[in-house]
Amino acid sequence: MRLANYQTDGFYDEMFDESGIPRPRADALAKRLTALSDGELVRRQKAADLTLLNMGITFAVYGHEAGTEKVWPFDIVPRIVDGTEFDTIQRGLRQRIFALNLFIDDVYNEQRILKDGIVPFELVFSASCYLEQCVGLKPPGGVWCHVVGTDLVRDGDGKFYVLEDNLRCPSGVSYVIENREVMKRTFPQIFGGLRIQPVEDYPERLLETLQHVAPPNTQSPNVVVLTPGIYNSAYFEHSFLAQQMGVELVEGSDLVISDGYVCMRTTRGLQRVDVIYRRIDDTFLDPKCFRPDSTLGVPGLMEVYRKGRVTLANAPGTGVADDKAIYAYVPRIIKYYLGEDPILNNVPTHICSEQDDLQYVLRNLSKLVIKPTNESGGYGIVIGPRATAEELAKCADQIRANPRNYIAQPMLALSRVPTIVDDHLEGRHVDLRPYMLYGKDIFVLPGGLTRVALRKGSLIVNSSQGGGSKDTWVLA
């Protein structure tokens, strides 16, 4: 197929440089694509779509009819990351997660960083994910965020920036593994001779991590995955990870507190549970401790947890550190705990709760991207340059009414990757979410979820809003 007509349109393209020459890391792939006969790529794409349908790789979209499953949108042209570049990403992420974990532990215990005036008390206590029920908790090994998925983007300058830390229940890693599987099934030729780092050992690593953080002195810990159930948008992932690890996938109603321990109801009576990889939100975990109306959790769970008789991964309360206003302080947090400069940069961020920033944001609304501090999934974002005057006015009112709820960032020119549109390739914007596991030490999966905004010009990559994904190749 011909790649000659492909346009980078002035954006950083992951495959081609500004003069249209394949970047060294993508050279072999570009040659293979060029060698394909007309229509072959589209045929492979269709085969991949069918494979995804048959494998039942789906996600549920909220706001649609209950139980609506959509097939995971997948584009077969992979995104390639150079090995050396990924090494830097890995080091940066390790540093960041290590510091953020110290921060969480500090916030709920000594509060040194607050007392030293590095991060304002007010900002921490007003974070919607700060949980005072977690004050004084000491999780095994001091690890709070066992599973992390950090969103990175590459800006027009070719550098990676951290867009968001996801320290609660990041999802998507199952798609990293399944995307690779689908590529291997439907497009094996494309791999030939390239040294791509494997991602398939993630479930093994996850199990190792979860077993490692079991309560002390637990012989062969019993690990389970706790899901809200089949109508959750990430249900596929919950079942996938449980299956791949060979552990039980439980719902809240399968668990019960008995004699001071968490047990699951089995056909042979109650069986003790030591580690819960929970994929339900903090406040739903235990109706006796958090939201009394939660039917997804286990009454009394937090009491058992506090006594150290069960491990929750991730620990409750970690959301305080991925609050979007706290985000702006991460470089200072890293410096404070580690005495190091951050290896990965933050996107410059204006915190609307700070007077100077607020005035700047309100004056420059049409140039900025405005984000609510307590939403995820791309909801509630206003992209200034693309908003109508009316939308901007409404946004300004909302910011004035509750400045703590908003941050603003400059508009980024997200990098693009060639993506199949009808019968040819066009550039589409992408981000990158690598996955980390924090148990004995910090492991960064060499790969990640590349989410792609399938609509022309769109910057919103979330699958709930018209995003798709690509296999991500980190070269050895």
Binding site for another protein (CB under 8 A): 53-56, 225, 229-230, 235-236, 238-243, 247-251, 253-254, 264-267
Residue 437 structure tokens: 């596991």
Q: How far, in Å, CA of 209 to CA of 212, rounded?
A: 5
Phi then psi for 315, rounded to 5 degrees? -65, 150
> How far apart are CB 260 and another protein at their closest, in Å?
20
> How far apart are CB 298 and another protein at their closest, in Å?
13
Length of the chain (residues): 476
Residue 383 structure tokens: 């992209």
> How far apart are CB 271 and another protein at their closest, in Å?
9
> How far apart are CB 169 and another protein at their closest, in Å?
17
* 313-343 as b/e: b if 16+ CB within 10 A: bbbbbbbbbbbbbbbbbbbebbebbeeeebe
The DSSP code sequence of 152-196 is EEE-TTS-EEEEE---S----HHHHHHHHHHHHHH-GGGGTT--B
Q: How far, in Å, CA of 322 to CA of 166, rounded?
A: 6
> How far apart are CB 265 and another protein at their closest, in Å?
4
229 versus 308: smaller Cβ distance to another protein: 229
Residue 115 structure tokens: 């007392």
Q: How far, in Å, CA of 274 to CA of 209, rounded?
A: 13
Residue 194 structure tokens: 């390239």
Q: How far, in Å, CA of 146 to CA of 312, rounded?
A: 9
- The secondary structure of residue 23, as a DSSP letter, is P
Q: How far, in Å, CA of 181 to CA of 200, rounded?
A: 9
Residue type, 47: A
208 versus 248: smaller Cβ distance to another protein: 248
- The secondary structure of residue 197, as a DSSP letter, is P
12 versus 240: smaller Cβ distance to another protein: 240
> How far apart are CB 240 and another protein at their closest, in Å?
7
> How far apart are CB 66 and another protein at their closest, in Å?
12
164 versus 286: smaller Cβ distance to another protein: 286
37 versus 267: smaller Cβ distance to another protein: 267
Q: How far, in Å, CA of 322 to CA of 329, rounded?
A: 11
How do strand 74-81 and strand 311-313 relate by DSSP bridges? unpaired
> How far apart are CB 309 and another protein at their closest, in Å?
20
60 versus 461: smaller Cβ distance to another protein: 60
> How far apart are CB 311 and another protein at their closest, in Å?
20
249 versus 407: smaller Cβ distance to another protein: 249
Q: How far, in Å, CA of 140 to CA of 342, rounded?
A: 27
How do strand 435-438 and strand 442-444 relate by DSSP bridges? antiparallel
Q: Which of 117, 243, 238 is nearest to 173 (CA)?
A: 238
> How far apart are CB 254 and another protein at their closest, in Å?
5
179 versus 318: smaller Cβ distance to another protein: 179
Q: How far, in Å, CA of 97 to CA of 467, rounded?
A: 27
105 versus 237: smaller Cβ distance to another protein: 237
Q: How far does the chain reach from its first CA to its final CA, in angstroms? A: 27
248 versus 354: smaller Cβ distance to another protein: 248
> How far apart are CB 185 and another protein at their closest, in Å?
11
51 versus 398: smaller Cβ distance to another protein: 51
